[in-house]
Amino acid sequence: MSVSDELAFSDVFPITNPQPKPRDTGLTEVRTAARSLSDIRGYTDTLAPYLDSVKWTVGTQRLLRREQVSEINSYLHEHQIEVSSGGMIETVMPYGAKAIRRYLEQSKELGFDIIEISSAMVAISVEDKCRIVKEVLDVGLKPKPEVTAWTPGDRGVVSTDKAVRETEMVLAAGAWKVMVEEDGIFSTANTGDPREKWNQDLAWRLATRIPQEFLYWEASSLDIVMWLINSFGPDVNLFGGDEHLGYISSFRAGAFVLNTAAMRD
């Protein structure tokens, strides 16, 4: 009997099982704010096959002892779950190139796999992002720059061309994946917009210009999750809150279909 046959209700209806890890598409990343190991076990014990990476959020790794951070990251690795640094690099950037280098080196020492190069709060040119991408590669980690459709100083002006151009440039520099910031597409100033205000044209422009395996979409609400799966299929790469992991996994698999394109050909 296969593992899929052992799943509950496998003799009642089929679901789409996740591709084996490591995979390039159908990736799920969730955020966590310095969760304890007992909290993390809450989803590794049940949904580890559906989870690809965990992102430390708002710099919470800076609040813990090194051994605690290393222990949590090692535990996730035991379950084939990679670890993302989150956006803490924005705090490091003002301290200069030496601080950035040490940040990258210590991230590797502590067991981080993915370095997010965020630009939501600190203005950074795409050229500087590309330089940091190469530094991340140099220390042996995976660079994941964030791409936005606006600049931190002017969130009222959204440019589809800017988002597409930056995505192409950071990928050419060697980025592993690109995190597509939802602000400017599905929300304004981190406040969720009603669906009629979503910039769906921008999302579709990115999706048609950039191969799916290189895009990671931020989705802070289930409404956004469902739209992305319905629009781009179950293999779309998604980043959301850890409270949404079960929903994302179920919607991808077609275990609870809500007008989503859950079944692959």
Residue 265, Cβ density class (10 Å: 0-12 exposed, 13-18 middle, ≥19 buried)? exposed
Residue 249: predicted pLDDT: 97
- The CATH-assigned architecture of domain 18-253 is Alpha-Beta Barrel (3.20)
**pLDDT tens for residues 140-197?**
999 999 998 876 555 557 788 989 999 999 999 999 999 999 988 998 656 677 888 8
- Evaluate if residue 260 carries a pLDDT over 60: no
Kindly tell me if the per-residue pLDDT of 113 is higher than 70.
yes
The rounded percent of the chain whose pLDDT value lies above 90 is: 76
pLDDT at 193: 76
Q: Render pLDDT for 68-98 as a digit per residue (tens, 0 to 9).
A: 999 999 999 999 999 999 999 999 999 999 9
pLDDT tens by residue, 195-227: 888 999 999 999 999 999 999 999 999 999 999
CA atoms 55, 59, 63, 67: torsion sign: positive
pLDDT at 52 over 90: yes
Instruction: Provide the residue count of the chain.
Output: 265
Taking residues 105-134, report their average pLDDT. Answer: 95
| More reliable by pLDDT, 118 or 120 | 118
Helix ranges (H only) for 23-145 are 37-47, 66-78, 89-92, 97-109, 126-138
Q: Could you tell me which residue, 37 or 249, shows the higher pLDDT?
A: 249
pLDDT of residue 4: 78
C-alpha to C-alpha distance for 152 and 155, rounded to whole angstroms: 6
Where are the chain's structural domains?
18-253
Terminal C-alpha separation, the chain: 24
Rounded to whole angstroms, the Cα distance separating 15 from 208 reads: 27
User: Among positive and negative, which fits the CA dihedral 62, 63, 65, 69?
Assistant: negative
| Dist CA 135 CA 19 (whole Å) | 31
